[in-house]
Amino acid sequence: MRNIFVQGFCCLLLSTTTMPTAFAADKTAHNYCQLAPVRSDALDFPSKHAWDLFLMLNHPAVDREIERGRADCARPIGDPGSTTVWESWRNAGKIGVQGEVFLKDGVEPPDWNDTTIPDEKPGQVPKEAITRVQAFSGSDRQPIDPRQISFHDWALIDKAKPQFSPGDGIFEGGGAFGETRLNRETFEFIKRNCLWSKDGLRRYAQAYQDGKKPLIVFPPGAMEVKAAWIDLEREKVPKEKWNTFYSADYKGKKYGLMTLHVITKDIPNWFWASFHHKDQLSFGDKLEPGIETPDEFGQPSALKGTVWENYVLGGTQIEFDSSTGAPTMLSDAHVEKGFVRSSCITCHSTAVISPDDTKSVASQAAAMCILTPTVPEFDLDPKGCREIIGDKYFMKDDKLVAERGAPLPEWYMKNDKLFFIQTDFLYSLPQRAQKEMNSPPKRCVW
């Protein structure tokens, strides 16, 4: 359901151990696959690592009926009519939105390469684009405590949203949205540990308390992407610009990829990167720019002359605080509209589960309160933040005693014991998993 009209977006993680599978060379054709990202670059050269991931993720994929997540090395990146590797990954899904991981009634998802669950036709590089590569190629609604909701899930609360891969990926004038897809390592860890349902998450949290399970830690090859799309006509993108976007067709409309967040488990607290279309602030209503970090590597020459040359690196994030103790921040003008003064890593550190659904102070609202306690978009103000994180973190004039990047240790404790366990920074688990309506597999009861 997509066509490549360039304008990018992202955050993602990657391990070199997965590269041979993702970039298996085609022995009968020229090998166009780029070199595999080097995990140590996540710390040593973040901008380079981000671009290496971008090249890997946006390389043309083989048909998912053949294999999910595998690059088609016989085709160069940006080949007109091609679909990206990340779009062959599994759609996360959520309550009220058809997906391929967190399914209705909390049922176990099928194996990785199964394609029996409907998914939208993926996007493509626009076939009509004149590019250099042509020369080479021939709801169910449940009561939710607003303090616990992920900001990225407000898009489906009390709002009529069109369902588009997987239902919350289209920009509708506000932030907190995005199409979420998981790679094989992420998906199989969830499946292996029975983390695809709300009940399964509770059982795992109890098993941890009973000493039967360790903390949730995804393997080094785990990755997740969040994609943001815009209605090209509604956002008043000139038609002559449409073929600069990786694009998707949906119900007679054309959507362009605007932002791509990528996270990868290359380092313990994940590697975070965000890409967006170079003309992001030129279309539609005026947007406040996201908080970005410098690109110290630059766009790879392999993207020149392709639709992907229209995308830029918005920034990377690898730690909560700088060497001077100041909180690090990273955000996108579309995905974090209304709360751009925020931090990917801080917000996602509050993704937690518990044995009995007891609510923790740990929430994305709390993460905002320790950094930016006034967020009108989500009804946050110093008074409300005092109730969430406590008076001791505020001065009399309602200013924070100090802005923080790292979460507060007490958020995860109960009776002086670790009780709220993190889902290793992935909000897709606690916010997208659904309640079981039938008994789980025997292997999922500990």
Q: What is the pLDDT of residue 165?
A: 54
The candidate with the shortest Cα–Cα distance to 178, out of 186, 167, 192, is: 167
Q: What is the pLDDT of residue 143?
A: 43
Q: What is the pTM of this model?
A: 0.86
- 349 phi-psi bin (left φ>0, alpha ψ -120 to 50, beta other): alpha
- 85 phi-psi bin (left φ>0, alpha ψ -120 to 50, beta other): alpha
Q: Could you give the CA distance from residue 334 to residue 343 in angstroms, rounded to a whole number? A: 15
Going by pLDDT thresholds of 50, 70 and 90, the confidence category of residue 167 is low
Going by pLDDT thresholds of 50, 70 and 90, the confidence category of residue 137 is very low
DSSP 156-204: GSSS-----TTTT-B--SSSS--EEEE-HHHHHHHHHTT-SBHHHHHHH
Q: Could you give the CA distance from residue 150 to residue 384 in angstroms, rounded to a whole number? A: 17
Q: What is the pLDDT of residue 139?
A: 36
CA distances from residue 341 to 8, 86, 219, 372, 423 in whole angstroms, order as listed? 20, 28, 30, 7, 24
Q: Could you give the CA distance from residue 224 to residue 245 in angstroms, rounded to a whole number? A: 21
Give the model confidence (pLDDT) of 289-334 as tens digits. Answer: 999 999 999 999 999 999 999 999 999 999 999 999 999 999 999 9
Report which residue type is found at 226. Answer: K
Give the model confidence (pLDDT) of 18-43 as tens digits. Answer: 443 434 444 455 899 977 899 999 99
Going by pLDDT thresholds of 50, 70 and 90, the confidence category of residue 252 is confident
Q: What is the pLDDT of residue 30?
A: 81
